[in-house]
């Protein structure tokens, strides 16, 4: 469950649908009806009530709720559909924080108003991006934990795709990348960066949504084999020696096996996971593939993977700048497809 949740109190579930969708962009959403007793308000941060105050049971519910909200210093927005003086007076008497017209205000505006009361120092976009990072991060961690047992549930992976795209669309790539870079788990940071660069590149290239989704899935799982690499090697705070490097390099084939064990995984994703360290000149691993043996998705993922690795902070070196990292990619003559590298550079340089 997300660490912050908004309660939508409604006496009409269908009518509350758009409001709930708007809330879910920013926080978890708990829908409650007028029979709710408000015994447990964790981890609720605010309430939007869309009920008819004229009805006695709605009024009683709101009375109980306003007391709890006041105790917790939590904002409660009341949406009125009539806006009569009597209703506004009643709302004021109950101690409701703010009263808006449900007919005049879009659900997203109502939710933005609630979050201005909850976190006045943050913009709506900051909160949206942070919330979606929490969703993507927890989904990735769940996926990675499952992978330690040698398998994986693609449905879990899929849950990260929507929030990742929403965060990039609403907040832009740079803001999203900054948030990921601040995370302390190296593997989570790397995989989310790769998935995000892949998503941004796919959008830039105008790929159809099904191809875009496949690429993001591949980005999220491409290093899942690292779940089976000893932590002493995976998180070593220094350069790996040759034997540790050999162990680390097994992650590509191990990842393939984890996905194969999961069953019915798209062959494109299987290939991307096994071959994202292959180079066009045959110098890569694990299979030493060359040129035409390496598919388009793999080529694209490999470029994003190298760029992410170069621009990440590591315990033993500072992150490389965008310019330096692109220079290295451009210098990998014979290993990467030059036209694709240039297209990637254009997508990043915007």
- Using CB under 5 A as the criterion, which residues of the chain lie in contact with Fe ion when the complex forms? 223, 305
Residue closer to Fe ion by CB (options 133, 256) is 256
What number of residues does the chain have? 350
Q: What angle do CA 316, 322, 323 make, to 5 degrees?
A: 110
Min dist. Cβ of residue 301 to Fe ion (A):
9
Nearer to Fe ion among residue 278 and residue 305 (C-beta): 305
Distance CA 194, CA 307 (A): 8
Shortest distance (Å) from residue 308 CB to Fe ion: 7
**Distance, CA of 9 to CA of 283 (rounded, Å):** 60
Would you say 33 or 244 has its CB closer to Fe ion?
Answer: 244
Closer to Fe ion by Cβ: residue 138 or 186: 186
Residue tagged active-site, from 226, 236, 239, 335: 226
CB of 28 to Fe ion, least distance (A): 30
Tally the C-alpha atoms within 13 A of residue 177's C-alpha that lie toward its C-beta: 20
Decide if 226 is catalytic. Answer: yes
Query: What is the DSSP-derived secondary structure letter of residue 224?
Result: G
The alpha carbon torsion through 293, 297, 303, 306 (nearest 10 deg) reads -90
The pairs formed by 55-59 with CB atoms below 8 angstroms and a separation of 24 or more are 55/11, 58/11, 58/34, 59/90, 59/94
d(CA 210, CA 10): 36
- Cβ of residue 175: shortest distance to Fe ion, in angstroms? 22
Which residues are known to be catalytic? Answer: 226
């Amino acid at each position: 469950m997300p660490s912050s949740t908004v309660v939508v109190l409604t006496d009409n579930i269908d009518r509350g649908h758009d409001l709930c969708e708007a809330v879910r962009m920013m926080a978890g959403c708990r829908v409650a009806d007028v029979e709710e007793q408000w015994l447990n308000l964790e981890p609720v941060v605010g309430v939007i009530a869309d009920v008819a105050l004229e009805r006695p049971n709605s009024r009683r519910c709101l009375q109980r709720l306003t007391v709890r909200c006041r105790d917790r210093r939590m904002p409660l927005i009341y949406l009125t559909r009539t806006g009569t003086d009597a209703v506004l007076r009643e709302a004021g008497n109950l101690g409701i924080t703010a009263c808006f017209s449900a007919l005049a205000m879009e659900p997203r505006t109502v939710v933005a108003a609630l979050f201005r009361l909850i976190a006045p120092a943050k913009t709506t976009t900051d909160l949206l991006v942070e919330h979606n990072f929490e969703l993507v991060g927890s989904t990735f961690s769940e996926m990675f934990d499952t992978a330690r047992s040698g398998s994986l549930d693609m449905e879990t992976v899929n849950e990260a795709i929507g929030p990742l795209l929403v965060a990039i669309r609403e907040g832009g790539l740079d803001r999203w990348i900054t948030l990921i870079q601040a995370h302390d788990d190296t593997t989570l940071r790397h995989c989310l960066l790769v998935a995000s660069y892949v998503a941004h590149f796919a959008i830039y290239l105008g790929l159809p949504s099904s191809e875009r989704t496949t690429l993001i899935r591949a980005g999220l799982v491409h290093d899942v084999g690292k779940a089976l690499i000893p932590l002493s090697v995976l998180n070593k705070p220094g350069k790996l020696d040759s034997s540790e490097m050999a162990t680390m390099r097994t992650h590509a084939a191990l990842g393939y096996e984890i996905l194969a064990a999961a069953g019915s995984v798209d062959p494109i994703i299987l290939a991307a996971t096994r071959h994202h360290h292959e180079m066009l000149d045959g110098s890569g691993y694990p299979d030493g593939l060359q040129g035409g043996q390496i598919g388009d998705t793999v080529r694209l993922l490999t470029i994003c993977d190298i760029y992410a690795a170069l621009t990440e902070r590591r315990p033993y070196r500072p992150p490389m700048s965008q310019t330096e990292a692109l220079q290295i990619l451009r210098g990998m003559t014979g290993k990467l497809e030059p036209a694709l590298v240039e297209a990637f550079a254009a997508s990043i340089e915007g």
